[in-house]
Each structure stands twice: as C-alpha cells, then as structure tokens.
Amino acid sequence: MKLLLAVITPKGLRQPEARSLVQMYMKRATPYLRTELLELPTEAAFVELLSKRNGRTAPYAVLGDSRGKAVTSEDLAASIETAALAGASEWLFGIGPANGWSSDTLAQAKLTVSFGRITLAHELATVVAAEQMYRALTIRAGHPYHVGH
Ligand SMILES: C[S@@+](CC[C@H](N)C(=O)[O-])C[C@H]1O[C@@H](n2cnc3c(N)ncnc32)[C@H](O)[C@@H]1O
C-alpha cells in the first residue's frame, strides 16, 4: 500500500520551511511504506483524483478538517491498518483549500480528522499531517519514535 498526502494549493507549497519538513517526514516514512506528496490546484482536481482512482482499488481517504473527529495517533495508525486489511492500494490524507472542504467532498471521506478546533494555515496543516503519517507508521511498526517524541 502507498501513502498519499494531498494538499489543495493553487500555487504549490511555497514556504520552503514547510516543504522541507514535509519532505523530511515523508522520507522518514519510506522504510515503512511508499509515500507521495500531491500538490493539487483545486478541490475539483482532488475529487477527480479520487474518482480516477476509484474502483477496485479506491484510496482510503482521510480528510483534515477542524470540525472533524478528534483522533489519537493510534487511531490514525489503525485507519492505515484498516485500509491495508481492506485491500486498498492507497491510503490518502487530504488537506483542503483556503475555504475548507465542501460537504460533498467531506462525504467521500472514510474519516475526517481534526488536529484541534484551531484553524491551521494549509502549509502548517500539511506539516502536521506528514508528521502524523510518519508517527502512525512507527506505531504500526512498534518503533520507539512515538514514545520518545
Ligand atoms: C486554511 S484551512 C481551511 C479553513 C476553513 N476556513 C475551514 O474552516 O475549514 C485549509 C485546510 O487545512 C486543514 N486544517 C486546518 N486546520 C485544521 C485542523 N485544526 N484540523 C485538521 N485540519 C485542519 C484542513 O484540511 C483545511 O481544509
């Protein structure tokens, strides 16, 4: 299974600090699973990506939303496990556009995840998601990162 981190960002991730942190966590994750960062110009492009990949191997889509479910990192690890057991070829975490996800897109998610009720800039939310994806993989693997960081 592959992990995708998709962010809706018309001009791409422009803050080098954010990009570098995202790339660092995604690189750290690769010993566990392949990862890919997708910078998409519009929510429509994201929905198209979901439908293009739909079918037998539909991605297991988890969407970041401040009004979503307050989950633990163990819950995220469990959702990756659930996707793997269900035979999904991709587990995807989506960071939405400046005005948030539409209700139609949210309805396509297996899980909506809140990092707290605060609103994070999409670049920061992407960094948090990348770290949580890495943390979830270390939890699945029994690696001590989750205990010490
Ligand atoms: C700038 S925020 C969107 C703000 C928008 N006004 C809203 O309320 O959804 C862009 C994206 O970052 C992510 N995000 C921001 N804060 C978040 C939080 N506290 N928890 C989870 N995701 C968050 C979400 O994916 C959101 O769609």
Spatial CA neighbour of 113 closest among 60, 44, 65: 65
Question: Cα–Cα distances in Å, from 77 out to 46, 93, 103, 115, 119?
Answer: 23, 12, 25, 15, 23
Spatial CA neighbour of 59 closest among 106, 138, 2, 139: 2
Give 144's pLDDT tier (boundaries 50, 70, 90): confident
Query: Contact 111/79 with Cβ under 8 angstroms?
Result: yes
Give residue 148's pLDDT.
73
What average pLDDT is seen over the chain?
94
Q: Is 73 in the pocket of ligand 1 (CB under 6 A)?
A: no
Over residues 20-38, the pLDDT tens digits come to 999 999 999 999 999 999 9
> Is the domain 2-148 a CATH 3.50.50.60 member?
no
Closest residue by Cα to atom 7, ligand 1, is: 100
Q: Is 125 in the pocket of ligand 1 (CB under 6 A)?
A: yes
> Under 8 Å CB-to-CB from 115, ≥6 apart: which residues?
64, 66, 125, 128, 132
Concatenating the DSSP letter of every residue in 34-50 gives EEEEEEES-HHHHHHHH
Could you report the predicted ipTM of this complex, rounded to two decimals?
A: 0.98
Pairing of strands 60-70, 2-8: unpaired
For residue 85, the CA-to-ligand 1 centroid distance in Å is: 29
* Nearest-10 crossing angle of helices 73-85, 122-141: 70
Give residue 50's pLDDT.
87
Give residue 77's pLDDT.
98
Which residue among 119, 126, 127, 128 has the greatest number of ligand 1 atoms within 8 angstroms of its CB, and so is best to mutate? 119
Owner of token pair 């929510």: 43
120 annotated as belonging to a binding site for a ligand: yes
